[in-house]
Copies of this chain bind each other. A is one copy, B any other.
Amino acid sequence: MSFRFDIEARDGKARAGRLVTPHGEVRTPVFMPVGTVGTVKGVPQDVLEELGVEILLNNTYHLYLRPGVEMVRRLGGVQKFMAWNRPILTDSGGFQVFSLSDLRKVTEEGVAFRSHLDGSSHFFSPESAMAAQIGLGADIIMAFDECTEHPAEYARTKESMEMTLRWAARSKKYFEEHKNEVPWFTGGLKSARELIRTPNGTAEAVPFQSGNQVPHPSPNAGPGCGTHAVPFQDAVEESGSLDSQAEAHSLGMTTTREMAAAKAITGATQTLFGIVQGGMFADLRRESVQRTVELDFPGYAIGGLSVGEPRPMTYEMVDAAIRFLPEDKPRYLMGVGTPEEILQYVAQGVDMMDCVLPTRAARHGLLFTSEGRITIKNARYAGDEGPLDPQCGCKVCARYSRAYLRHLYASNELLAQVLNTIHNLAYYLDTMRRARAAIVRGEFRLPSASFGEARYNS
């Protein structure tokens, strides 16, 4: 089982659900912390686990540049690489190519760009963005799209939307043809390869030794559990024929037996989501949804929002898309939002979100609390021995005073960034958890703000 999405409760348009992926389950609505280059800045993975992070996001653009797709592939994929045995989602690289690099040139084929690290030249197409994401091995990957610039006129937006649709079809085609190359089982197969490679390089069967078990992922296991062992002999017997030498070679294998063993053992592959565009035009949003749904993805993202438009427009465009998205598939709104906004999107029917805001703001000393935003650098906190947020149960609020946090930040200390980030993530994750619990109880209400106290219902 590579992917499943179950809706467990509804409350108005909000849903409480569960994503099932090869590396574990994710309860929705979910906020995904951003671990750009394979790390959520400053926070060790065990602390992320303690915080209850169930899925995080890695950026393909960044990992592609450093350490490179091949390195991550060789090491068995991003989960093994960053020692995170829970689900990961990668974006396609499209957004960073537009926002981070210089000298971009967009053609039908794809995007030529220069690395922001060293100026070297690169090219992303739907095909190569899929290849990169397959090599990286996240559980959920994204179609390669064009994030329409803002502002943009109707004709330009439509043209951009159309190209995204063509790129979506190409993304899906390449993905379906190559998804078996996912490197999750390289680690296990490395031991298999050792078992069956002879000194002269030919492949021969070597009797299976107890203890030399090939890791087998259990897609239905809970977060944190991803593998159990299957005897190599059984795996080999289950194997069918290989499609091509090229397929075997791409996995770094030298024998077709290894390749077959991998495919047989796992059965699980990644999941590709489509991305809806259409800028700030409701009819284009609808058209983008309908034509993307025709391609039949297991999940759909809404892209090209939170790019500078007024917030009411964001909400309007989210509505415009969700109205036509299939009810039984997850909706992923990319790149949002503040703690208040993410609840609004949940009320509109969004299941998944990601944003650098909690982590980036933390590193700049802006902390989200139940008492509002706190700019910890402020002198008023210098002697404040109370906790950062009296209503927060995270380990930072349980232990440290505002005075200490303020001192750390004012002293430009590493620990400021670490503790601030832990708290802000706890705040976001707590917000989502409480929202989910309220949906399950049928009591989900937005905090009184622009939208009043009434349940959001349209």
Contact = CB atoms under 8 A, between A and B. Distances in A.
A410 B117 CA distance: 12
Within the oligomer, what is the number of copies of this chain? Answer: 2
A418 B67 contact: no
A163 interface: no
B415 A75 contact: no
Interface in A86-142: none
A414 interface: yes
16 contacts: A37-B411, A38-B407, A39-B415, A41-B415, A42-B42, A44-B418, A46-B395, A46-B399, A67-B403, A67-B410, A81-B403, A82-B404, A83-B401, A83-B404, A414-B417, A418-B418
A418 B417 CA distance: 11
Given A66-B407, A67-B407, 8 more contacts: A37-B413, A39-B408, A41-B413, A41-B414, A44-B418, A45-B399, A83-B404, A414-B418
B382 A39 contact: no
A197 interface: no
A43 B39 CA distance: 16
A43 B415 contact: yes
Nearest to A42: B414
B66 A383 contact: no
Contacts of A37: 407, 411, 413
A71 interface: yes
Contacts of A83: 399-401, 404
A182 B75 CA distance: 55
A71 B382 contact: yes
Contacts of A415: 39, 41-44
A297 to B, nearest CB: 31
A272 to B, nearest CB: 26
A333 to B, nearest CB: 27
Interface of A: 37-39, 41-46, 66-67, 71, 74-76, 80-83, 187, 382-383, 385, 395, 399-401, 403-404, 407-408, 410-411, 413-415, 417-419
Contact of A71 (B46, B71, B383): B383
A53 to B, nearest CB: 14
A47 to B, nearest CB: 8
Contact of A39 (B38, B385, B403, B413): B413
Contact of A383 (B75, B383, B407): B75
Nearest to A46: B395
Contacts of A382: 67, 71
Contacts of A399: 45-46, 83
A16 to B, nearest CB: 32
A57 to B, nearest CB: 16
Contacts of A80: 385
Contacts of A413: 37, 39, 41
A411 B419 CA distance: 21
A417 B399 CA distance: 22
* Those 7 A-B pairs whose CB atoms lie nearest each other, nearest first: A42-B414, A39-B415, A83-B399, A67-B407, A41-B414, A37-B411, A83-B400
A355 B194 CA distance: 45
Most B CB contacts (10 A, CB to CB) among A46, A382, A414 go to: A414
Nearest to A62: B411
A385 B76 CA distance: 10
